Amino acid sequence: MTDAQPPVPVAPGLIAELTARGETVAVAESLTGGLVVATLVGVPGASAVVRGGVVAYATPIKHELLDVAADLLASNGAVDPEVARQMASGVRIAMSIDGEPATWGISTTGVAGPDPQDGKAVGTVYVGIASADGATAYELHLDGDRDAIRHATVSELLARMSSTIRARE
């Protein structure tokens, strides 16, 4: 795969749904390195709902910018469901405007390869979705090379975010 991937089909619908609801989203990314926010802002009209993103690729940045617990990172490493939840919750706050957090925070953390990390196999990924009501993490086991895993993570996260929004209706 190359960096010139086709747009994720769910992204336009997600942007439209957030716009219709008057809701916003903030993104915290590790293994995807900006692909999630790039996918979202590739949709016309995204500026109405996308607050911004943090690429917290280095583990200490997850603590420093997103308020992920340092002891959690030290004990479990960055590839962990609670880290994904805390990243998603933290980015909601980090992307506050006039003291108002983003409606939604979404996050990615995992192992794209080529080597395992923190005792986790390549393709082990956690995505987080947070709102004022709390945060949830989903564990993914993805196949393929580094690019395939990164792009599949974006697709899975945005599909789960769409499902989460629809479930609130």
Question: Which residue's structure tokens are 């393709």?
Answer: 123
Q: pLDDT value at position 132?
A: 97
Q: What is the 8-class DSSP label of residue 141?
A: E
**Cα dist. 31→54, 100, 126, 149, 152 in Å?**
12, 27, 10, 9, 11
Q: pLDDT value at position 3?
A: 46
Q: pLDDT value at position 118?
A: 86
* Rounded CA separation 83/62 (Å): 8
Give the residue from 137, 167, 140 showing the smallest Cα distance to 156: 140
Q: pLDDT value at position 8?
A: 62
* Average pLDDT per 10 consecutive residues for the chain, totaling 169 residues: 56 96 98 98 97 97 98 98 98 98 98 94 98 98 96 97 90
